[in-house]
Amino acid sequence: FTLDSRRRSTPCLLVAQLTSLLTGIAVASSGSHAENAPALRAVAVDDETRVRRGDRDRLLAVGHDLSGGGAAVNLQALRGETVAFQVIVLAPPSGPAAVSLALPPFAAAATGNTGAPLVAQIFREHFVTVAERSRNQRRPNESLGWLPGARPPDEAMLGAVPDALIPVGLSADVPGAPEAPNNDRSWNAFWIDLFVPESATPGRQTTTATAATGAASIQFSVTIDVGPTRLPYRAVSAFAYYEPARLDERIGDGPTVERQLWQLLHEHHVDALAPLTAASDVDRLADAFTGSLFSPAAGYVGPGTQLAPAVIALGAYGQLGDPTPAATATVREMVQRLASLYRRPALADARPDLFLYAIDEDCRSPRAGAWKSALAAPSPQPWPVAVGQTCGEAPEQQAADVALVPGQLFRRAMVDTAAHHERRAWIYNGALPQTGTLLLDAEPRGLTANGWIAALTAIDRWFYWESTFWNDDNRGGRGAIDPFATPVNFHNRDGDTALGDGLLVYPGRQRGAFAGHSWGFAGVFPSLRLKMLRRGIQDAGYLALAAREHPDQAARIAARAVPAMLDEAPPDQGASWDRGSDGEASRFFTARAALRALISREDSLTTTDGDRVLHQLARQRRADVAPALSRRQRLLRIGAAGGAAGVALVVIVASLLVRHRRRRGPNGAV
C-alpha cells in the first residue's frame, strides 16, 4: 500500500500485485474484540511516517488496523538489512495505564533452516511537545534547516512529536519525569526493528505479536520474507561527531557509554567521529578503529560485523590549532599509532579515509594550507593524511584536500570538479529543499532522502555536525536542556533558534539538574530520525544492487523518488520528495519495492563495484537533469536583459546577500 506522510488524509491503497515485492508492511484484518473486554485498537504504520500523538485522523489514513482476527504485518528484506515498522495501540483513557508489546522469536516456514536467527528490538516512542518553530530572529520563516519557501507548515509540525526511542525493557514510567499535557496514556506507540543477519537462511519466517493491557489483548502475525541477496553495508558513507566529555558529564561511565555509542551508530550504518587530539585518544578507541568493537565477542549484534569505520578525523573542528612544532609532533604520533593498528593482515585493505580537520567554517583562514605544508615536511607520514575544512566555497578554490561543503551550497558537479583539481568534495549537514534536514520540526523522511541524494551524486562522505547536542553551549547558547522535555536545543549569536539540531541520540541516564528524568541506562538511545537516516543509507544499497543489473530502470525509479535535489531543487519550493499529488509519502516505500524487483543476482556487491555503479548513476543524473536557477542566478539573468547598469546593480545586491549569509554561517557549530 502507499502512504501519505503529510497531514492530509490521503486514502491508503492496498495493491495486491505489489504485496510480494514491498519492503514494508502489508496488513489484512477482520473481526472485532469481544464486547466484554476493554476496547483496544492497534494500527500498523511503516518506517518512513512520523505520527504525532493524538493525531488519529492521520493515523487511520496512513496505517492499517490490526485489531481483528487474522491481522498480519508482512515484510520483505535482504540479508544484512534492518527493516522496521511501527505499532500504535489505542487504549481507553480510563483503562490500565501500561500497554505492552511482545514479539517472540521467529520460526521458519520450511524445515532445514540452520541460518542465524532474526533479531528483534522493540522501542517505545517518546513524545516531546513542539510549541515553537526553528527560525532566525530577523527572518522567522527561514532557519538553519530550510529556506523560507521550503518551510514545513505549522499545522503539520506543532504538537506532540515522537523522536527518542526507549527500549521496552526499561520502565515507561520514570519517577519525577516532567509530564507534558499531551502525554495521553491511551496512545502507545512502538517502533520495531528486525535485523536479518547476513548468514540468515533465505525464505519465510513468522511469529505472532501480542499487544496487551490488563485483560485485553490483540494478536497479529509478523511475517518476513528473506531474500538471498546480501545488502551492502554502508553503501554510502555518513559520519557524525560526538563529544566524550558531554557523554561523561550527562551520563557518567565514560568509556562504557562511548563504546555503546559507537556500536549504536555502527548498527545504523553511521560512523562515529571522535575528537582525536592525542595518541592516548587513538589507544582508547583502538578496537573501534580496527572493527573488533563490532563483533559478537564485544557484545555487538548488527550489520557490518568487524568492519572498520570509513573515515577518521584528527583534531575535529580545528581543535589542534595552528601547526606548531608541538601540534605537528602530536599529529605524527597519532598517525604512527593508527598506522600500527592497520598493519595487521586482516586490515590491510581496510584503511579508512584519514584527514586532519584544520578549521571550521572559516574559508579565509590560512590554516588548511599551513597544515598541508607542515605535514609534507620533513618526511612523509606512514599513512597519508589529507587536510580538510568546512567551507562553502568551491573545492578548487580551497587550499584543503577535502572540502566539506554545506548541503545547501553543494553542487552536483563538485565531485568531479574537485577530483579534476586533485581534491575531494564531501557534504555536511543540509537544508530544505536541497537536502533533508536534522531539525525536529521537519519531516524526518528528509534524512531518508539524503541516502538517495548521496547515492545519486556519488558523494564520498556525508558529515553530520553533532549527535549529542544537549547542552546548547554554542556561542550564544542558553545552557543545558533535558532533551526528553525540551525540543529547542540550539541558539547562536546570529539569532538562530533550532529544534533537535545535532541531536541523533538521547542520554539513557541523566545526572545533575535532570536526574529526575532518567532511565538509569549507561548508554544512549536512538532517535526516530537516526532510523530514517539508516533507511536512506540502506536504500542506497538497494539502488546500487538494482543498477548493477538494470542501470536505466534504476535511474528512472530514482528520478521518481527524488525528482529534484541539491542544485536541481528550486529554492523557493518545498522538498521534491514531499511535493506532488500522487501519494508522496509512499515514494521511497514504492521505489524500494521497484528496485527490489530488479535484483536477481545473489552474489555480493563489493565496495569498489558499488562505488563504480553509483558514479555511473551520478553521471547519468547530471546528463538528464539540469540544475535549477538560484535566486542570485535569476537576478543576474534579469539584470543581463536589462543592460549593463542593471547587471551592475544586481551584482552589487547579490554580493551583499552572499556576504550576509556567509557572515551568518551555515548550520553547524557557529
- The yes-or-no verdict on residue 25 having pLDDT over 80 is no
Banded pLDDT at 410 (limits 50, 70, 90): very high
DSSP string of 94-131? Answer: TS-S--EEE-PPPEESSS---SPPPEEEEEEEEEEEE-
- Residue 234 near residue 269, CB atoms below 8 Å: yes
DSSP string of 491-558? Answer: E-TTSEEEESTTBSEEESS--GGGTTS----SSEEEBHHHHHHHHHHHHHHHHHHHHHH-HHHHHHHH
Rounded Cα distance, 128 and 484, in Å: 6
Question: What is the DSSP code (8-state) at residue 574?
Answer: -
Instruction: Find where cell 502512504 sits.
Output: 3
What confidence tens digit (pLDDT) does each residue in 313-351 have? 999 999 999 999 999 999 999 999 999 999 887 777 788
* Residue 451 three-state SS: helix
DSSP string of 306-356? Answer: TPPPSEEEESGGGTT-S--HHHHHHHHHHHHHHHHHTTSGGGTT-PPEEEE
pLDDT of residue 89: 94
246-256: average pLDDT = 94
Cell of 212: 496487551
Beta-carbon contacts of 528 under 8 Å, excluding residues fewer than 6 positions away, are: 50, 125, 162, 163, 164, 165, 191, 444
539-552: average pLDDT = 98
Radius of gyration in angstroms for the set of CA atoms belonging to the chain, rounded to a whole number: 25
pLDDT of residue 247: 97
DSSP string of 164-193? Answer: EEEETTS-SS-TTPPPPTT--TTEEEEEEE
Residue 418: closest CA among 364, 457, 360: 457
Q: Rounded to two decimals, what is the model's pTM?
A: 0.90
pLDDT of residue 185: 74
Rounded Cα distance, 74 and 19, in Å: 8
Q: Beta-carbon neighbour count of residue 512 at 10 Å?
A: 8
Banded pLDDT at 563 (limits 50, 70, 90): very high
pLDDT of residue 343: 87
What confidence tens digit (pLDDT) does each residue in 473-508 have? 999 999 999 999 999 999 999 999 999 999 999 999
pLDDT of residue 108: 85
pLDDT of residue 111: 64
Percent over 90 (pLDDT), the chain: 74
Select the more confidently predicted residue: 33 or 151: 151
Residue 63: closest CA among 23, 21, 20, 11: 11
Rounded Cα distance, 539 and 591, in Å: 9
pLDDT of residue 585: 46
Write phi, then psi, for 307 (nearest 5 degrees).
-90, 135
What confidence tens digit (pLDDT) does each residue in 127-139 have? 999 999 999 999 9
- Residue 47 near residue 86, CB atoms below 8 Å: yes
- The yes-or-no verdict on residue 291 having pLDDT over 90 is yes
Rounded Cα distance, 87 and 415, in Å: 41
Mean pLDDT of the chain: 86
pLDDT of residue 114: 76
pLDDT of residue 35: 44
- The yes-or-no verdict on residue 27 having pLDDT over 60 is no
What confidence tens digit (pLDDT) does each residue in 202-213 have? 999 999 999 998
pLDDT of residue 323: 97
